[in-house]
């Protein structure tokens, strides 16, 4: 079995929603459930050894547009969120992450040594990520608190605008050059994250925002769950020019399992071949090299191919990549080692 460290999942969102409805999130994760994609038993079955676990604030007014007769759609950006309720939700989810840690359901990891230790011990290695920074104040005082509690990665924006920058809409076909980039506060956020050793995730930001981060940050450029725009022309996917910049900075792109970001027609159809996942991996490897490509499933946040189904199906993708000619050393890079390299570098760990 090839152990996988995954660049993005939304399991905290699912557990938090169920907790608010009276469920026990620790029992759900430890004992397993038929709901969603990730829990302890399914992670073990599929070799999902850990990943970046998102603190995401839901946008209640976002309703994805149905495709028109040509298969095209354009969902307007969700309304910006207020900070106070966003902070409340972020704290609830961070507390939930620590509750899982305290119960031994998973282990919050603050270094690559922590990740490797958790993997060796057979415990899910959770890295706390913030997807959209609505919970942060403009002077970034709260960032210090979140960091102390384990936060090691953030995306300045989700697919909506906030005090730090502008997000891309869910749209097809559409360029990621969909609006302005970072705000003045956003530039300060990037500089602060560089200093503190916090990952800046480019997965939901506009193309202008991407270039704003590229010129401001000295860290590797990271898109945790994004695919190839030349193959699937959704606004969330990356252009060749962006991929080239990530390669030049020895960054990373994590393959998103979302079928809307894999299929040439961008339809939300789980009847999607694993060949399309391999095709995106092949393109990324040919464009950037094997060291800059990894996995970023978006489990519990998107429709994934029915053959994968959930975390237990991860090894089916590994088998497809092996069948496509990827040798064991390169499979190790794609599944975990590339993530550990780029995290170690971004977190200022000694070499």
pLDDT per residue as tens digits for the range 285-309: 999 999 999 999 999 999 999 999 9
- What are the φ and ψ backbone dihedral angles of 49, each rounded to 5 degrees? -85, -10
Closest to 189 (Cα-Cα) out of 249, 248, 141: 141
Q: Is the pLDDT of residue 225 over 80?
A: yes
Contact 297, 259 (CB under 8 A): no
Q: How many CA atoms lie within 13 A of 157 on its CB side?
A: 32
Pairing state between β 199-200 and 151-155: parallel
pLDDT of residue 63: 77
Contact 177, 208 (CB under 8 A): yes
Q: What is the pTM of this model?
A: 0.97
Contact 155, 203 (CB under 8 A): yes
- pLDDT per position as a tens digit, 85-121: 999 999 999 999 999 999 999 999 999 999 999 999 9
What is the C-alpha separation between 330 and 293, in angstroms, rounded? 10
**CA 41 and chain centroid, separation:** 21
Q: Is the pLDDT of residue 351 over 90?
A: no
Sequence-separated (6 or more) residues with CB below 8 Å from residue 286? none
What is the C-alpha separation between 70 and 55, in angstroms, rounded? 35
- pLDDT per position as a tens digit, 243-272: 999 999 999 999 999 999 999 999 999 999
pLDDT of residue 176: 97
What is the C-alpha separation between 291 and 306, in angstroms, rounded? 28
Question: Which band of pLDDT confidence, cut at 50, 70 and 90, is reported for residue 60?
Answer: confident
- As a whole-number percent, the residues of the chain with pLDDT over 70 amount to 100
Q: How many residues does the chain have?
A: 351
50 bridge partner residues: 5, 125
Question: Which band of pLDDT confidence, cut at 50, 70 and 90, is reported for residue 314?
Answer: very high
Pairing state between β 170-172 and 73-75: antiparallel
Tell me which DSSP letter residue 5 carries.
Answer: E
Pairing state between β 222-223 and 252-255: parallel
pLDDT of residue 216: 98
Question: Which band of pLDDT confidence, cut at 50, 70 and 90, is reported for residue 61?
Answer: confident
Q: Is the pLDDT of residue 62 over 80?
A: no
Pairing state between β 124-131 and 222-223: unpaired
What is the C-alpha separation between 296 and 299, in angstroms, rounded? 8
For 91, the enclosing helix (H) or strand (E) is helix 83-102
Q: Is the pLDDT of residue 64 over 90?
A: no
Closest to 106 (Cα-Cα) out of 87, 92, 119: 119
Contact 129, 52 (CB under 8 A): yes
Q: How high is the mean pLDDT of the chain?
A: 97
Q: Is the pLDDT of residue 183 over 90?
A: yes
Place of tokens 């210090």: 144
Residue 265's CB is within 10 A of a number of other CB atoms, namely 14
What is the C-alpha separation between 124 and 106, in angstroms, rounded? 5
pLDDT of residue 43: 98
What is the C-alpha separation between 94 and 146, in angstroms, rounded? 8
Q: Is the pLDDT of residue 66 over 90?
A: no
Place of tokens 């890079």: 333
- pLDDT per position as a tens digit, 16-39: 999 999 999 999 999 999 999 999
CA angle 329, 330, 332 (to 5 degrees): 70
């Amino acid at each position: 079995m090839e152990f996988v460290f995954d660049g993005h999942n939304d399991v905290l969102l699912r557990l938090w929603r169920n907790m608010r409805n009276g469920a026990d999130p620790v029992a759900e994760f430890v004992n397993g459930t038929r709901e969603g994609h990730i829990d302890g038993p399914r992670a073990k079955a599929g070799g999902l050894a850990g990943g970046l676990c998102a603190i995401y604030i839901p946008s209640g007014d976002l309703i994805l547009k149905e495709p028109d007769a040509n298969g095209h759609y354009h969902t307007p950006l969700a309304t910006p969120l207020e900070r106070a309720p966003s902070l409340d939700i972020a704290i609830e989810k961070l507390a939930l992450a620590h509750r899982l840690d305290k119960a031994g359901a998973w282990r919050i990891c603050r270094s690559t040594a922590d990740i490797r230790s958790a993997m060796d011990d057979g415990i899910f290695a959770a890295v706390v990520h913030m997807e959209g920074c609505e919970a942060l104040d403009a002077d970034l005082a709260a960032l210090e608190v979140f960091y102390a509690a384990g936060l090691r990665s953030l995306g300045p924006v989700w697919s909506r605008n906030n005090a730090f920058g502008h997000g891309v809409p869910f749209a097809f076909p559409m360029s990621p050059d969909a609006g302005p980039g970072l705000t003045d506060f956003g530039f300060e956020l990037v500089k602060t994250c560089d200093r503190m050793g916090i990952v800046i995730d480019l997965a939901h930001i506009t193309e202008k925002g991407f270039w704003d981060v590229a010129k401001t940050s000295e860290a590797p450029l990271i898109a945790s769950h994004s695919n190839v725009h030349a193959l699937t022309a959704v606004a969330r996917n990356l252009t060749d020019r962006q991929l080239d910049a990530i390669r030049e900075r020895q960054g990373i792109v994590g393959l998103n399992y979302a079928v809307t970001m894999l299929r040439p027609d961008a339809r939300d159809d789980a009847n999607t071949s694993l060949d399309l996942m391999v095709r995106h991996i092949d393109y990324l490897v040919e464009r950037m090299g094997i060291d800059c490509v990894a996995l970023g499933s978006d489990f519990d946040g998107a429709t994934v191919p029915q053959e994968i189904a959930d975390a237990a199906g991860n090894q089916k993708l590994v088998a497809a990549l092996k069948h496509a000619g990827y040798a064991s050393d390169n499979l190790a890079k794609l599944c975990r080692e590339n993530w550990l390299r780029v995290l170690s570098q971004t977190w200022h760990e000694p070499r």
